[in-house]
Amino acid sequence: MKVIVAVLGMDQHENGAVAAAQVLRNAGFEVVYLGRFQLPAHIVAAARDEDADCIGLSVHSWEYRHYLPELLELLAAVDVHVPVVIGGSILSPADEEELATLGVAATFGPACRPEAIVARVRSVVAG
Amino acid sequence: MDRDDLLRTESAIPVQPVYGPGDRGGADAGIAEPGAFPFTRGVRPPGAARRGFIERELSGEGSPLRSNAQLKALLAQGQNGLDVIGDAPTVAMMDPDHPYARHTVGTQGVSMCRLQDWDELYDGIAIEDLTLSHSLPAIFSVAGLWSLARRRGVDPARLRGSSINGPYYGEDTGYAVHMPFELRLRLAADSIAFAAREMPRFHAFVEDTYYISDGGLDAVEEMALGFVEIRGVIGELLGRGVDIDAFGPRIAILVNCRMDLFEEVAKIRATRRLFARMMRDTFGARDPRSWAVNITAHTSGMSLTAQQPVNNVVRGTVQALALAMAGVQAMEVSAFDEAFRTPSREAHEVGLRTQQIVALESGVTRVADPLGGSWYLESLTDELERRIEGMVEDIESRGTPAELADGGYFRGIFCAAMERHAGQIADGTLAKVGVNCFAVPSEEDRLLRDVVETRFDPDHERVAEIRAWKAGRDQARWASGLEQLRVGADDRSADLTPHVVAAYEAGATIGEMAGVLRESYGWPADPLASRLAGAGR
């Protein structure tokens, strides 16, 4: 199972992405680590080219609120049906609810433990 | 958590259950008096400690004018210094009208890109009477402040304050400016040398070990990397023929402060001692002021939790107390809503009040180095000194800083630390109340939620304003200013700072100036242009 891990726009906080990538690797996932300065089009292209099973965004800035709708639209436009999951300490329970209605497959707020992230990504990928 | 974890510090230094007079044999000579070499106990003589520390909160949001109102509000609450941070584009040396910046202008700091932004940021504020600290690209801070002072009729030599100035680690730790190592080092050295001549009270060389360490480095790694950078930048300046005592007194270190109280106090004491010996014995500084390093601190944002945010007020208090007892010259308490957002007005106020309460009510600043002589603290100070020094030697034996930076060695240290820290929280090695112990269900975690979950939008008006302003500039003057900067950059022996001042005054922006500098070194002017093209923009 292959997961893209990316950080959006100008968000330079990378802790969560690095840690989540490691957690997923340790659990047996293949991680394509895109790192910082990613725009929706970069992520969609990588998901398509890598034939990824899941897109994981680590967010530590509010930019994701603007980029996420664009990302979901682009995925639909190019007919790439890959679930998107989002994690980050800045996600409040209200944010998580909102993201679910937008079509995000899973969210990981600050209280989420590593084993829960692994289990949720597995179940999201399994559909 | 088992008993073994309790007997290690946060940096994994083993400790005994109790310490006594036999634990620190005969090394008391290394402690000396406060205000005397090697300054373990503080840089000021006894009595002076009563002046306490500069109390300030890291601030800046939206446009320079909006940030100006924020600064004035903090001053009205009793803040006695200013501490400004740029937004993500600004610290990356990009203008607010860059396509990459559009969703983040002003959301994590102030948007600064042109000379008049300095006028607006400090409008109505007596810049000669306050210390002005900046987490902004140093050469643009030094040049902007210098020009502002001159135009206001203030002698730049009166300016006090600082700018963080670290060329080595930004690309890997959140302040990437997409410039080659050689250019980053030049910008640091040029701005420090310029300030040493023109703004001799201003600390243009603040080694910021806070931001490099708040991804998860421990106290030993933090200071070892800090000293590697300090030694490298000093070496560069000496290589140009700048006298060590011309800038030595204006080196400062901005450290992190985590939750392990004694370890953080010991780290600061060990750092003062290592710095004093390094300056006197390695670099031959003769002025005692060059031996005594000013230390300021930010309390660790990473130590704060999104769960039960009010607990962060307690964490900030413990950290502020540690810093006050360590004898720092200034501090900033990270806001209790740090995990969620750019600080709210409420969180800023609590951070400032925390400092005021520690300074005025706790009495810990009454006496210099109040913890000095504690067998545990002295033993830990010695141990941290040994470990930091050992790690500096190890890193320096692995290659030149340029090789280590470009080859990914430093990035490896940062990534390993991020993974280690996440693992320690997950497995409970590092206790986090409300996270890995004593957690409460999120529906019961309501206190202060309204404050921490309030958002504000990117400052799109600022983007529009800068676009319109750029179109209305005197184009000939602007082009000439940038051309002069290009000539200065191409002359590798020139000091770039006066050229930056001239380009600023000709209407050039930080993003445009950075582009010219990159091109002079064979790099693309806009580092993210190729990524934009790849995204079809």
Q: How confident is the model at residue A92 (pLDDT cuts 50, 70, 90)?
A: confident
Beta bridge partners, B251, equal B205
Question: B interface mutation test: which of A13, A15, A23 has the most B CBs within 10 A?
Answer: A15
> Is the CB of residue B356 less than 8 Å from the CB of residue B391?
no
pLDDT of A50 = 97
Residue A125 lies in a domain: no
Tens digits of residue pLDDT in B18-30: 999 888 754 555 6
Amino acid at B249: P
Question: B interface mutation test: which of A5, A7, A8, A10 has the most B CBs within 10 A?
Answer: A10
Give the dihedral of Cα atoms B459, B464, B467, B472; nearest 10 deg.
Answer: -130
> Is the CB of residue B84 less than 8 Å from the CB of residue B130?
no
- Over residues A63-71, mean pLDDT: 95
- Over residues B144-165, mean pLDDT: 98
Closest CA to B224 of B387, B378, B409: B387
pLDDT of B1 = 44
Q: Spell out the residues 6+ positions from residue A98 whose beta carbon is closer than 8 angstroms to its own.
A: none
Closest CA to B445 of B348, B310, B312: B310
> Is the CB of residue B389 less than 8 Å from the CB of residue B271?
no
Residue B38: asked if its preceding bond is cis (omega within 30°), the reply is yes
How many Cβ contacts (< 8 angstroms) between chains A and B? 105
> Is the CB of residue B140 less than 8 Å from the CB of residue B165?
no
- Over residues B245-261, mean pLDDT: 98
> Is the CB of residue B371 less than 8 Å from the CB of residue B93?
no
Tens digits of residue pLDDT in B63-89: 999 999 999 999 999 999 999 999 999
Chain A residue closest in CA terms to B445: A93
pLDDT of A116 = 93
Helix ranges, B283-437 (H):
288-291, 311-326, 345-360, 375-396, 401-406, 409-427
> Is the CB of residue A47 less than 8 Å from the CB of residue A75?
yes
Residue A120 lies in a domain: no
With a cut of 70, say whether residue B275 has pLDDT above it. Answer: yes
pLDDT of A113 = 87
Residue ranges matching CATH 3.20.20.240 in chain B: 3-13+50-452
Residue A70 lies in a domain: yes
Range of the domain at A96: 2-114
Mean pLDDT of the residues in chain A: 94
User: For B161, phi and psi rounded to 5 degrees?
Assistant: 135, -155
Residue A121 lies in a domain: no
With a cut of 90, say whether residue B214 has pLDDT above it. Answer: yes
How many structural domains does chain A have? 1
- Chain B neighbors of A40, CB-CB under 8 A: 535
CA torsion sign for B465, B471, B473, B477 is: positive
pLDDT of B225 = 98
Tens digits of residue pLDDT in B317-346: 999 999 999 999 999 999 999 888 889 999
pLDDT of B6 = 63
CA dist B200 and B289 (Å) reads: 13
User: Residue B72 is inside which H or E element, if any?
Assistant: helix B64-76
Nearest neighbour of B426 by CB, restricted to A11, A39, A114 = A114
Please judge whether B340 and A92 are an interchain contact, meaning their C-beta atoms are less than 8 angstroms apart: yes
CA dist B261 and B264 (Å) reads: 5
Q: What is the CATH number of the domain that holds A44?
A: 3.40.50.280
> Which listed CATH number (3.20.20.240, 3.40.47.40, 3.65.10.10, 3.40.50.300) goes with B3-13+50-452?
3.20.20.240
Tens digits of residue pLDDT in B438-478: 999 988 999 998 888 888 999 999 999 999 999 999 999 99
CA dist B91 and B89 (Å) reads: 6
pLDDT of A18 = 92
> Is the CB of residue B520 less than 8 Å from the CB of residue B496?
no
Q: Starting at the edge strand that comes first in sequence, how are the strands of the sheet with B160-164 ordered?
A: B54-55, B330-332, B294-299, B251-257, B202-208, B160-164, B131-135, B82-85, B58-59
Structure tokens at B461: 């008006």
- Chain B neighbors of A93, CB-CB under 8 A: 442-443
Question: A interface mutation test: which of B85, B93, B108 has the most A CBs within 10 A?
Answer: B108
CA dist A17 and A6 (Å) reads: 7
Residue with token string 């073994």:
B4
Mean pLDDT of the residues in chain B: 95
Structure tokens at A14: 């990378």
Closest CA to B166 of B112, B106, B209: B209
- Chain A neighbors of B216, CB-CB under 8 A: 15
Distance from chain centroid for Cα B356? 21
- Over residues B483-504, mean pLDDT: 98
- Chain B nearest-CA distance from A49, in A, is 14
